[in-house]
Structure 1
């Protein structure tokens, strides 16, 4: 699987550099998500702007990433999702589970908002 990883202090961005996210790539993507989470990465933005086609195994990999990062208290945001993939996500009603935003910049903003909310919640619990 071809991808690029951009590491920042509060988040990481993985850009999938493939046209298809299918059964040939999905196991590698799942493995990458688990590795990143195991390394202590809390917030992940998945840039799918190069991906034109996603099948059910690709959605499964994205669901694994979503579960791993959100259960750990972090954010998992997808951006640059093609129209085909948006339809698939909507038809399977995963739009209620997955966070999909149009651009990486909006995804970064959401991660920072979630970090602020988390900090305020922890502050409130401490009092």
Structure 2
């Protein structure tokens, strides 16, 4: 599995450098997301700009990312999803659960706004 991780102070970006997020890759993605969380990253941007196909195992990996970020009082954001992936997320009724934005820049803004909100609320 090919991927890159860009670690910042308040968040990290996990970019999957593969076209498919399927049952062959999903277990490795889950492991990497758990490792990032264990390293202290509660806010994760998952850059899917190169991904053209996601199956149920791939959706499961995304839900793991969402869950571990949420448990750490953080935010998990999907960025750069193509139309087919967005359609699958909507068909699976996960669009109300997962945070999906068009670009990595918007994902960064989303996370930083969430961080400000948490600071205001004292979390």
For normalisation by structure 1, the TM-score amounts to 0.95
* Contiguous gaps of at least 5 residues in structure 2: none
Structure label with greater radius of gyration: 1
How far 1:110 moved relative to its partner? Answer: 0.5
Q: Which secondary structure state, in structure 2, belongs to the residue aligned with residue 45 of structure 1? A: strand
Structure 1 runs not aligned, ≥5 long: none
Tell me, in whole angstroms, the C-alpha distance in 1 between the residues paired with 2:46 and 2:93. 19
Structural RMSD (CA) = 0.9
Deviations 1:32-89 (A, max 9, x none): 1111111111210000000000001000000011001112100100000011111100
Higher helix share: 1
> Given the two structures, how large is their TM-score scaled by the length of structure 2?
0.98
Q: What is the aligned partner in structure 2 of residue 23 from structure 1?
A: 23
Q: How does 1:87-106 map to 2 (within 5 A)?
A: 87-106=87-106
SS of residue matched to 2:14: strand
Partner of residue 39, structure 1: 39
Q: Which residue of 1 aligns with 2:10?
A: 10
